[in-house]
Chains A and B, each alone.
Chain A
Amino acid sequence: MIRMILRRLLISVLVLLVVSILVFVATLLLPGDPARAILGTQATPERIAALQEHMHLNVPVWQRYFDWLSGVLTGDLGFSTSTQGSVNTLLADRIGASLVLLIASAVISTPIGLVVGTWSAIRAGRTSDHVVSGFSLVIAALPEFVIGVALVVLFSTSVFKLLPSVTLSPPGTPVWERPTQLVLPVLTLVLVVTPYIVRMMRATMIEVLASGSVEMARLKGIPERIVLFRHALPQASGPVAQVIALQLAWLAGGVVVVEFLFRYPGIGAALIDAVNNRDVQVVQAITLLIAGVYVVVNLLADVVGIVTNPRLRTEVAK
């Protein structure tokens, strides 16, 4: 089992390495000369040459890649051309802001998803179950910006005028100092993620509740409540952990649209800015960061799956 996990880990590292090459090559193809982009109307040939020198744009490609990669590995994400500062400083506050969104969304959606999913599974086939299933099916279909705009119309502009529709954060003050402006972005993400957790939890629980061990427990006359908590839930924990991990991974990418919609000062909004500004190293850093979170969380999901599922353990091992 340890060997399998190690193998999985090695594959993840390789995948990340290939992703880094892909991202690096992609940003090489960006149109527009970053040196010109910075100088804009102030560009003269001498200045462009000087800036290119400064930005190491005249060093061979492979060397730039290794310079960049070794920088990333030592925690130096590079130089942001549009901000004329290090990418680390640019992203420092933004990573925090995005994490606040992610964690708040995860902390709210996970318990709701688990409880509703379990409840729905226990009542499988009844009206309440159909309502929950139908509802989660509908919400799960909606693109995140559709949910976000609907919430804005509902709570901020047209129906009720209760919550801010854009994030305003004066410099130096963290976004969470004004909690009301976190409500709509978090609610959007919660609505996007919860239906998946509900659906997976429901399916898993239905399977578990029909399994032999639970059947056995019931036959022994153990009260249903105890059957649920002692026998059914532990069996479901593996797949559920996987679902949660996958949703977290999804959130890492899903914040892009939500942050843009609410003008939220996180890494997603920074990515769109950087794409527009041809800020190569920022694009590289954020893409790699998101891919990194994605790969690591997926790895965790797999490891949890391997550890908790003896059947899978043996099956994959052969």
Chain B
Amino acid sequence: MSGGLLRRALGLRQAKIGLTLTGIVVLLAVAGALFGNMITGYQPDDFSGKPFHANGMAGTDGVGRDVLTRFLDGGLDLLGYGLAATAIGVLLGAALGMLAGYTGGWLDGLIMRGSDVLLSIPQLVFALLAIAMIGPKGWLLILVIGITHAPRVARVARQTTVGVIGQDYIKAAQLYGMPRRRILLREVLPNITGPLMVELGLRLTYSIGYVASLSFLGLGIQPPAADWGLMINENRIALVVQPWGVVLPVLAIAVLTVGTNLITDSLAAAAARRTTEES
């Protein structure tokens, strides 16, 4: 069923553009991390010249490392963290939302009021609070961004679940005494994949944005790691003399988020069209 949605979405021109853009950056990040030093001849932490000098194709950074090498190496962490945070957020959110929607009653109330509390603190501020407590650790970054996604995903999951549970096949499954977990996984989940796919895309776009933003604030991925967000912050003091250390990562993040957002939008359009067709 979701295969149909994907196929339909990918039929849109916008999705093709999005897929191409995302593909370019993903390829760049993966291949760059694997083969970057073969292309430039430097390791990400090698010194290629004096700080902020024009050595190499894109100059050097604040301690004289090759900017191009670090740019090629710096995307993989961002992608990995973004994907992991999205996975946590969507899985947790979908599970809680389905549970709340299906079960109703006090559990529904508890889950939804709990998510109201989380929703009333902006995601970035919440992440700042958590990082201030525990420090800028990779797992924390993933966890806290994932957790802040969860209530937003849960709302969508709950709403769609409520729409589904009145259907006959669910009632039939209940009559047969199918356990709750199986009903949720076998009967409910396949019928709400559309909205969940849209959420997945949306959350991925945001996750990449948040990880990069936190690194940019100096509270995400830590030196000496090469990372796009961190690079932007490290190199912006010399923007006038050596702009590439800022411009390259900014471009990459921009293309990546635009790409994922185009795909998400196509998914949403395809899902909306299916609903209208079905009704």
Contact, chains A and B (beta carbon distance below 8 A): yes
As a 0/1 sequence over residues 233 to 251 of chain B, the CB contacts with chain A under 8 angstroms (1 = contact) are: 0001001100100110010
CA distance A278 to B247 in the complex (A): 33
Please tell me if the beta carbons of A287 and B129 are within 8 angstroms of each other in the complex: yes
Interface size class of B (residues with CB under 8 A): 35 or more
Given A145-B232, A146-B254, A157-B243, are A290 and B128 also a contact pair (CB < 8 Å)?
no
Q: How far is the CB of A166 from chain B (nearest CB, A)?
A: 10
- Closest A residue to B135 by beta carbon equals A31
Q: How far is the CB of B203 from chain A (nearest CB, A)?
A: 13
Q: How far is the CB of B22 from chain A (nearest CB, A)?
A: 11
Please tell me if the beta carbons of A253 and B123 are within 8 angstroms of each other in the complex: yes
As a 0/1 sequence over residues 199 to 236 of chain B, the CB contacts with chain A under 8 angstroms (1 = contact) are: 00000010011101100110100000000000010001
Please tell me if the beta carbons of A144 and B213 are within 8 angstroms of each other in the complex: yes
Given A158-B243, A275-B128, are A150 and B261 also a contact pair (CB < 8 Å)?
no
- Closest B residue to A23 by beta carbon equals B129
Kindly list chain B residues whose C-beta atoms are within 8 Å of the C-beta of A261: 216
Kindly list chain B residues whose C-beta atoms are within 8 Å of the C-beta of A165: 239
Partner of B117, one of A22, A26, A141, A283: A22
- Closest B residue to A28 by beta carbon equals B133
Interface size class of A (residues with CB under 8 A): 35 or more
Please tell me if the beta carbons of A19 and B128 are within 8 angstroms of each other in the complex: no
Please tell me if the beta carbons of A149 and B122 are within 8 angstroms of each other in the complex: no
A-contacting residues, B151-168, CB 8 Å: none
Given A18-B117, A137-B261, are A272 and B209 also a contact pair (CB < 8 Å)?
no
As a 0/1 sequence over residues 138 to 182 of chain A, the CB contacts with chain B under 8 angstroms (1 = contact) are: 101111111001101100011000000100000000000000000
Partner of A283, one of B129, B212, B254: B129
As a 0/1 sequence over residues 105 to 127 of chain B, the CB contacts with chain A under 8 angstroms (1 = contact) are: 00000000100110011111100
Partner of A271, one of B116, B125, B239: B125
Q: How far is the CB of A261 from chain B (nearest CB, A)?
A: 8
CA distance A283 to B219 in the complex (A): 16
Kindly list chain A residues whose C-beta atoms are within 8 Å of the C-beta of B216: 145, 257, 261
Kindly list chain A residues whose C-beta atoms are within 8 Å of the C-beta of B187: none
Please tell me if the beta carbons of B121 and A290 are within 8 angstroms of each other in the complex: yes
B60 contacts the other chain (CB 8 A)? no
Given A22-B117, A254-B122, A257-B124, are A143 and B232 also a contact pair (CB < 8 Å)?
no
Given A253-B123, A283-B132, A295-B120, are A141 and B257 also a contact pair (CB < 8 Å)?
yes
Kindly list chain A residues whose C-beta atoms are within 8 Å of the C-beta of B247: 153, 158
Please tell me if the beta carbons of B131 and A275 are within 8 angstroms of each other in the complex: yes
Q: How far is the CB of B77 from chain A (nearest CB, A)?
A: 16
Q: Which secondary structure dominates chain B's binding surface?
A: helix
CA distance A11 to B119 in the complex (A): 13
Please tell me if the beta carbons of B250 and A290 are within 8 angstroms of each other in the complex: no
Q: How far is the CB of A136 from chain B (nearest CB, A)?
A: 10
A294 contacts the other chain (CB 8 A)? yes
CA distance A14 to B112 in the complex (A): 13
Partner of A26, one of B129, B135, B217, B240: B129
CA distance A138 to B257 in the complex (A): 8
A250 contacts the other chain (CB 8 A)? yes
As a 0/1 sequence over residues 253 to 267 of chain A, the CB contacts with chain B under 8 angstroms (1 = contact) are: 110110011000000
A30 contacts the other chain (CB 8 A)? yes
Kindly list chain B residues whose C-beta atoms are within 8 Å of the C-beta of A59: none
Interface centre among A16, A141, A142 (most CB of B within 10 A): A141
CA distance A53 to B262 in the complex (A): 57
Interface centre among B132, B205, B240 (most CB of A within 10 A): B132
Please tell me if the beta carbons of B122 and A294 are within 8 angstroms of each other in the complex: yes
Please tell me if the beta carbons of B122 and A140 are within 8 angstroms of each other in the complex: no
B69 contacts the other chain (CB 8 A)? no
B258 contacts the other chain (CB 8 A)? yes
Please tell me if the beta carbons of A153 and B120 are within 8 angstroms of each other in the complex: no
Please tell me if the beta carbons of A275 and B125 are within 8 angstroms of each other in the complex: no
Please tell me if the beta carbons of B120 and A291 are within 8 angstroms of each other in the complex: yes
Kindly list chain A residues whose C-beta atoms are within 8 Å of the C-beta of B86: none
Please tell me if the beta carbons of B125 and A149 are within 8 angstroms of each other in the complex: no
Please tell me if the beta carbons of A253 and B125 are within 8 angstroms of each other in the complex: yes
Kindly list chain B residues whose C-beta atoms are within 8 Å of the C-beta of A254: 122, 124
A29 contacts the other chain (CB 8 A)? yes
Q: How far is the CB of B254 from chain A (nearest CB, A)?
A: 5
CA distance A18 to B115 in the complex (A): 11
Kindly list chain B residues whose C-beta atoms are within 8 Å of the C-beta of A283: 129, 132
CA distance A16 to B121 in the complex (A): 10
Q: How far is the CB of A4 from chain B (nearest CB, A)?
A: 16
A298 contacts the other chain (CB 8 A)? yes
Binding site for A on B (CB under 8 A): 14, 113, 116-117, 120-125, 128-135, 205, 208-210, 212-213, 216-217, 219, 232, 236, 239-240, 243, 246-247, 250, 253-254, 257-258, 260-262, 265
| 13 new A-B contacts at CB < 8 Å, known A30-B133, A290-B122 | A15-B116, A15-B120, A23-B129, A29-B133, A143-B253, A145-B232, A253-B123, A260-B217, A261-B216, A275-B129, A290-B121, A291-B120, A298-B120
Sampled A-B contacts (20; CB under 8 Å): A11-B116, A16-B120, A27-B132, A30-B133, A31-B133, A141-B205, A141-B257, A142-B254, A145-B213, A145-B216, A153-B247, A157-B240, A158-B239, A253-B122, A257-B216, A275-B128, A275-B129, A275-B132, A275-B219, A291-B125
